[in-house]
Each structure stands twice: as structure tokens, then as C-alpha cells.
Amino acid sequence: MLNEDFDKILESLRVKLIGGTSYEIIKPIKIQNYYDVQNTIILLNFGFLNHNKENHGLNSGDILFIPGGKKINITLGVNNHTIIENEVFQKEKQSFLKKTDTNSKIVSSGALKKTNIFFLIFDARAYNTINFFSSLNIPPFSINKNVKPVQSVLEKIQDEQSGNLTGKEKLVELLTQQLGIELFRHILYEKLDLEQLSENNNYFKDARLMDIFNYIQENLNNDLSNKILANVAGVAPEYMSQFFKTLTGISPQEYVEYQRMEKSIELLKTTELSVHEISGSLGFNNTSYFCKRFKMMFGVTPKKMRKENAYSSSNALNKGLGY
């Protein structure tokens, strides 16, 4: 895959901030299997942050990037850590984190043992469909503070989020888009070689697959059988499953189900539709089956996820960790 191919992908990339907030760690914790369907970035302003991919803590100004769908163990703060699973953390995070009105970049003598982070969650879609950073199939990784393109953009977003200047939302929107591109550049030139990245993303090359992705996204409540998708792609129905799986590594119906489940999370968090209404609107004829598959995929029931994480879209930008 050449640079021109990557440019085409980036032209289609749409990056949206879900939440960004500065926090002080008021109770040291070890989060087992932290997970989010969206991408997570943690900027360590000062203090202690470690994860299961490192043998030592990050330094002030370093960044931890967690692609959507990847699980990781995270340690925040020093001494006497409370060990909790991600489900408990999402439910009781206010017991461990205190929102700060400003990003405390200057460390006072009394703050030497404290930990302050900027926690950002964002969505990144290629062709309005593909969860881009998840599609790269890379594990979570840290970024040194000396990688200025990523670090400086993230600090600008943090500064804007902590203030209330005119044009804040528009500037944050533009900066978040820039952040997505700078992250991809870092991955492209520092984390993966061209051959590996090309192998991970060979499905971007086939226009028929792009047509399928777009059709699925626009018809989640309709019949998305292999026969229908084969007609969209212009391939024989009996060849559809092999065609799709060769390019993506999963079957068409596995992909359809995942897209429906991702959409259900969005509806749970941004609407007051009942679980029955949501499952029906996404093509599930049986609500019990929908709930069973949801729990298998995300570890909690739809009702429990809504209870722990549901926020209206109007205040999502101010909620950070919980959206």
C-alpha cells in the first residue's frame, strides 16, 4: 500500500471527540481489563501511570493510546492501589477521580505524590463505517512526550477543554481531526512497517467492500443476509461469505452483528428508547437473544450499560471518562 492509498483513507477519516476531561487521582487504582469501544488517550500531566505493556511508569508528558476494542491493565497513582475490574471502575469512577477545572501542568511541592491526567475518548471512522484505529489491529502503546506533533495537539485540546473561549467547540473539532491524523502518522512511521500495515488494511483496496460497508451502515434495521449483500457487491451469493472473510478475516454476519451492537450502544447512551425498541430497530426479532449476544460481546447487559454510562449528547463533551 502506497502513501497515495493512505491519503485516500485519511481523506475519508472523520474523527469526533466523545469526551475530554482533566482529572486528579484521589485514590490510587489498578484497573483490570480497561476497555472501551471507542479510542482512549491518557496524557500524564504529572504523577504515576503504568500499563501492562511497560515495565516502568510513564514520565510526565507521556501519552498512553488505547485503540477501541483493546483491553489493557492500567495503574494510576502511587501506593496502596485498589484493584478493580473495568465494570466497577466505570460505575464508581467518581470515587477514584476528581475532575479539575484546569489542567495542572505546574507541579507544586504539595503535589509531588499526586497524579493528574487528561483523559480523552474519541471516535475515528474511515468511509463513515470502519472503526479506523481498531481496524489497524495494533495493541495499546505509549508515546514519548518528545513526539511533539501528537503531544502538542493533545495539549491544545486540553487547554481548550479547560477554558471557555469563543469558538471552543469548533477549534476542538478541528484539533481532534488533526490528532487522528498525527496518531496515524506516528503509527505509520514508528509502530508498524508498511508491509504489516498494508496486510492489516487490504480491505480498503476493494471498492466492492466499501459498498458493502456503506450499505450495512445505512440499513442496520433491514435484511442484511448474505444474499442481499452479494447483490450489493455484485458477487454470487454462494461466494459472498468467502469473498468477505478473505478480505476482513470475519464473516459478513459477524460484521453485521458487530455494527448493530455498536449502534445499540450509541442508542443506549443518547436516547430513551427501551431495550426492546432498540433491538427491534436494529433488525433483532428476539429481544432476549439481543441481550444475550450483547452481554457476550461487552460483558454487561444493555440495561446495565445504560445505567452506568448513559449521558445525553448535549453534555457528552463535559463527561470525559463516562462520555
Domains of the chain by start residue, with CATH: 3-198 (2.60.120), 206-311 (1.10.10.60)
**Residue % of the chain over a pLDDT of 90:** 50
Which range among 18-22, 69-73, 78-82, 123-127 shows the weakest confidence by mean pLDDT? 123-127
Long-range contacts (CB closer than 8 Å, 24 or more residues apart) made by 90-98: 90/308, 90/309, 90/321, 90/322, 91/308, 93/321, 93/322, 95/27, 96/25, 96/26, 96/27, 96/29, 97/23, 97/24, 97/25, 97/26, 97/321, 98/23, 98/24, 98/25, 98/26
Q: Is the pLDDT of residue 107 over 60?
A: no
Q: Express each pLDDT in 5-24 by its tens digit.
A: 677 778 878 899 999 999 99
| Model confidence band, residue 317 (pLDDT cutoffs 50, 70, 90) | very low
131 strand-pairing partners: 125
Q: Is the pLDDT of residue 47 over 60?
A: yes
Across the range 231-257, mean pLDDT stands at: 89
**pLDDT value at residue 201:** 60
24 strand-pairing partners: 98, 116
Q: Is the pLDDT of residue 25 over 90?
A: yes
Residue 312: alpha-carbon gap to chain centroid: 18
Residue 73: alpha-carbon gap to chain centroid: 16
